[in-house]
């Protein structure tokens, strides 16, 4: 019963995280013609403030474990570049499409885990990755024209996020705190994007300020929600629920932005989410079998 309750808590947390991240993309889009770098700066600045407050209330404050700095630097580098590309895609694609391309990150993580974590992927993981990228082609729809560029940049956003998650996993193995990882990422992103504000700052209306503040708050909900989820239950049991972010984003887009995903995009969604579901179900079944046989 205890294990069942933990799984339910994990699912609820990951659903909250998915809703938080979908709200983040919604508010980023709603902020209008603010430059991408300016949006990224304020999104991370507000997230950094929230994290600093949490760390000041913690026992270890801002202490970073010895041996973590290299992985933190790589997490920041790939996470920041992925975030900027994701924001660029959000401004130029439907928010459901941008979210779906970003949700290819678990499949990129499988590939990056091979050299970084020395993990050998199973045949199911390899097949799932190939099929997921086929699904991505339905969203990108390469046709040789300039409209494919935002989709390819959004695809890199998924790569950056997936690579960043691999280094987060390695940091977790070293015992580094989530709040420290989030703070370093937020501060690094602010340092990277701040110079662009000096040369291309656009004065913002009260509505745009509110949208970017809400984007930062929603992103914090997503960050801490997904971290809490994986503390309650292992990824193999709950990770598939993270794809509800695309559903939340599609609903927000249809209700408030007059966006309706086209048929090709929907085919891509079905392929990618279906592949993730089958992979999740297979991992769960294998885990139960191993538990029964005592292996």
What is the pLDDT confidence band of residue 295, given thresholds at 50, 70 and 90?
Answer: low
pLDDT of residue 34: 92
pLDDT band of residue 147 (cuts 50, 70, 90) is low
Instruction: Give the model's pLDDT for residue 165.
Output: 83
Look at 186 and 147; give whichever has higher pLDDT: 186
Cα separation, 204 vs 223, in Å, equals 26
Candidate from 70-84, 128-142, 192-206 with smallest mean pLDDT: 128-142
Nearest residue to 103 (alpha-carbon basis) of 263, 221, 272: 272
- pLDDT tens for 249-264 read 889 999 998 888 888 8
Number of residues in the chain: 295
What mean pLDDT do residues 147-153 have? 86
Q: What is the mean pLDDT of residues 101-130?
A: 85
Q: Picking from 12-26, 80-94, 236-250, which range would have the lowest pLDDT averaged per residue?
A: 236-250
| C-alpha 258, offset from chain centre | 24
Q: How far apart (Å, rounded) are the C-alpha atoms in residues 89 and 243?
A: 18
Distance of CA 235 to the CA centre of its chain: 14
Distances (CA, A) of 224 to 57, 126, 236: 16, 29, 19
Question: What residues have CB less than 8 Å from 80, skipping those under 6 apart?
Answer: 40, 160, 185, 188, 189, 192
The per-residue pLDDT of the chain, averaged, comes to: 86
Measured over the CA atoms of residue 178, residue 182, residue 187 and residue 192, the dihedral's sign is: positive
Residue 4's pLDDT is 59
Task: Check pLDDT > 60 for residue 145.
Answer: no
Chain position carrying tokens 């992927």: 121
Q: How far is CA 161 from CA 80, 88, 146, 168, 267, in A?
A: 8, 14, 24, 10, 23
b/e map of 148-168 (b: 16 or more CB within 10 Å)? eebbebbbbbbbbbbbbbbbb
| Domain residue spans of the chain | 2-293
Q: What is the pLDDT of residues 221-279, one digit of tens each?
A: 887 787 777 667 766 667 778 888 888 988 999 999 888 888 888 998 999 889 888 88
Inter-residue contact 25 to 259 (CB < 8 Å): no
> What string of DSSP letters covers 58-74?
SSSTT---TT-HHHHHH
């Amino acid at each position: 019963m205890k294990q069942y309750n933990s799984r339910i808590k994990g699912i609820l947390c990951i659903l909250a995280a998915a809703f938080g991240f979908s709200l983040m993309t919604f508010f980023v889009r709603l902020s209008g013609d603010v430059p991408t770098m300016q949006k990224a700066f304020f999104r991370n600045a507000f997230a950094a403030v929230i994290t600093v407050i949490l760390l000041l209330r913690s026992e270890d404050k801002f202490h970073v474990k010895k041996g973590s700095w290299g992985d933190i630097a790589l997490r920041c580098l790939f996470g920041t570049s992925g975030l900027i590309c994701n924001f660029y895609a959000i401004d130029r694609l439907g928010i459901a499409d941008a979210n779906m391309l970003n949700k290819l990150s678990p499949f990129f993580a499988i590939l990056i885990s091979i050299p970084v974590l020395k993990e050998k992927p199973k045949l199911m993981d390899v097949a799932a990755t190939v099929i997921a990228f086929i699904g991505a082609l339905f969203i990108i729809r390469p046709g040789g024209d300039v409209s494919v560029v935002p989709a390819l940049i959004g695809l890199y956003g998924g790569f950056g996020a997936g690579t960043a998650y691999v280094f987060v996993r390695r940091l977790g193995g070293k015992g580094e705190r989530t709040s420290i990882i989030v703070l370093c990422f937020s501060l690094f992103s602010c340092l990277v994007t701040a110079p662009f504000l000096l040369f291309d700052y656009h004065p913002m209306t009260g509505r745009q300020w509110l949208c970017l503040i809400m984007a930062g708050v929603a992103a914090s909900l997503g960050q801490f929600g997904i971290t809490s989820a994986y503390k309650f239950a292992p990824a193999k049991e709950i990770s598939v629920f993270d794809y509800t972010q695309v559903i939340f984003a599609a609903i927000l887009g249809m209700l408030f932005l007059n966006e309706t995903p086209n048929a090709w995009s929907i085919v891509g969604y079905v392929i990618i989410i279906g592949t993730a579901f089958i992979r999740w179900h297979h991992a769960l079944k294998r885990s139960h079998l191993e538990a029964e046989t005592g292996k």
